[in-house]
Amino acid sequence: MASCEEFDWLIDYLTEETENKIDPETVGDALLALSAMHGLGSSTRRLSYATALIRCMGLTRPSRVRHAALRAVSDAREEIASITNGSMPQGMDATLLDELSCVVLAVARPNHDPVVHGNSHPYATFHFDRHCCYARLIFSLAMNEEWHERLTRDGHLEWCISLVDTAQRAHWRWDFGCHLAGIFAHIGPSDKVLFSSSAGC
Kindly report, residue by residue over 163-173, the tens digit of the pLDDT. 877 666 656 66
3-state DSSP assignment of residue 129: helix
Q: Which ranges of the chain does DSSP label H, i.e. alpha helix? A: 8-18, 24-34, 46-56, 63-75, 77-81, 94-108, 128-141, 145-154, 156-169, 174-185, 189-197
Burial classification of residue 123, based on how many CB atoms lie within 10 Å of its CB (0-12 exposed, 13-18 middle, 19 or more buried): middle
CA pair distance 58, 154, nearest whole angstrom = 16
**pLDDT string in tens for the chain (201-residue length):** 668 899 999 999 999 998 887 788 999 999 999 999 999 999 999 999 999 999 999 999 999 999 999 999 999 999 999 998 888 988 899 999 999 999 999 999 865 444 333 344 444 456 778 888 999 999 999 999 999 999 999 999 888 888 877 666 656 666 777 878 888 887 665 555 444 445 578
CA pair distance 91, 120, nearest whole angstrom = 39
CA pair distance 155, 150, nearest whole angstrom = 9
pTM of the model: 0.85
